[in-house]
Amino acid sequence: MTDPQLVLAEGVQRALAAAFGPEYAAEDPLIRPSQFADYQANVAMSLARRLGRAPREVAQVIADHIDIPGTVQISGPGFVNLTLADGWLAAQAAEQLADERLGVATEAQQTVVIDYSAPNAAKEMHVGHLRTTVVGDALVRVQEHLGHHVIRQNHLGDWGTPFGMLIEHLLDMGEEAAVAQLSAGEGNVYYQAARAKFDGDPDFSKRAKARVVTLQAEDPETMRLWHIFMNATIRYFNKVYTQLGVTLRDEDIAGESRYNAMLGQVCDDLQKRGIAVLSDGALCVFPPGFTGRENLPLPFMIRKSDGGYGYATTDLATIRHRVQDLKADRITYVIGATQALHMQMLFASARLAGWLPDEVRAEHVQIGSVLGSDGKMFKTRAGKSIKLLELLEEGEARAAAVVADRAYDEATRAEIAHAVGMGAIKYADLSVSHDSEYVFDFDRMLALTGNTGPYLQYATARIRSIFRRGEYDPAETRGPILLGHPAERALALQLLGFGAVVSEVGAASAPHRLCAYLFDTASAFTTFYDNCPVLKAGSEEDRQSRLALAALTLRVLTQGLDLLGIEVPERM
Restricted to residues 12-71, the positions that interact with RNA (CB under 7 A) are: 30, 32, 34-37, 40, 42, 45-46, 48-49, 55
- Cβ at position 149, least distance to RNA in Å: 27
Binding mask 205-224 for RNA (x = CB under 7 A): --------------------
- Options 85, 171, 210, 296; binder of RNA; rule CB under 7 A: 296
Residue choice 109, 231, 305, 324 for contact with RNA (CB under 7 A): 305
Provide the strand spans (E) within 345-499.
361-367, 370-371, 438-439
Which span sits near RNA by CB under 7 A: 127-135, 228-236, 335-343, 478-486? 335-343
454 contributes a contact to RNA by CB under 7 A: yes
Of positions 127, 446, 532, 552, contacts RNA by CB under 7 A = 532
Nearer to RNA, 368 or 565 (CB): 368
Give the closest residue to 346 by CA, choosing from 364, 327, 367, 323. Answer: 364
DSSP 438: E
| Contact indicator for 473, 467 with CB cutoff of 8 Å | yes
- 3-class state of residue 149 by DSSP: strand
Residue 402 as a binder of RNA (CB under 7 A): the answer is yes
Count of CB atoms situated within 10 Å of the CB of 250:
10
In the bound complex, what is the minimum distance in angstroms from residue 215's beta carbon to RNA? 12
CB-CB contact of 515 with 449 (8 Å): no
Q: How far is the CB of 367 from RNA (least distance, A)?
A: 12
The correct pick among 98, 171, 213, 377 for binding RNA (CB under 7 A) is: 377
Give φ, ψ of 336 to 5 degrees. -50, 145
Binding of residue 261 to RNA (CB under 7 A): no
Residue 409's contacts (CB-CB under 8 Å, 6 or more residues apart) are none
Looking at residues 141 to 170 of the shown chain, list those that interact with RNA (rule: CB under 7 A). Answer: 157, 159-162
Residue 273 as a binder of RNA (CB under 7 A): the answer is no
Kindly tell me which of 150 and 237 has the beta carbon lying closer to RNA.
Answer: 237
Nearest-CA neighbor of 380 among 178, 128, 162, 182?
A: 128
Beta strands (DSSP E) in 132-203 are 149-153
* CB 430 within 8 Å of CB 138: yes
| CB closer to RNA out of 150 and 234 | 234
Q: What one-character DSSP code corresponds to residue 363?
A: E
Phi, psi of 354 (to 5 degrees): 80, 10
Residue of 106, 109, 231, 338 that binds RNA (CB under 7 A): 338
User: CA-CA distances (angstroms) from residue 97 to 4, 101, 141, 297, 504?
Assistant: 15, 9, 22, 58, 21
Q: How far is the CB of 403 from RNA (least distance, A)?
A: 4
Show the beta-strand stretches assigned E in 281-393: 282-285, 300-303, 330-336, 361-367, 370-371
The answer to whether residue 275 forms part of the interface with RNA (CB under 7 A) is: no
Q: Pairing between strand 282-285 and 300-303? A: antiparallel
CB 83, min distance to RNA, A: 11
Smallest gap from residue 251 Cβ to RNA (A): 22
280 binds RNA (CB under 7 A): yes
* Of 104-112, 132-140, 195-203, 438-446: span binding RNA (CB under 7 A): 438-446
Rule CB under 7 A: choose which of 60, 96, 120, 349 binds RNA: 120
- Report the alpha-carbon distance of residue 420 to residue 426 in Å, rounded: 10
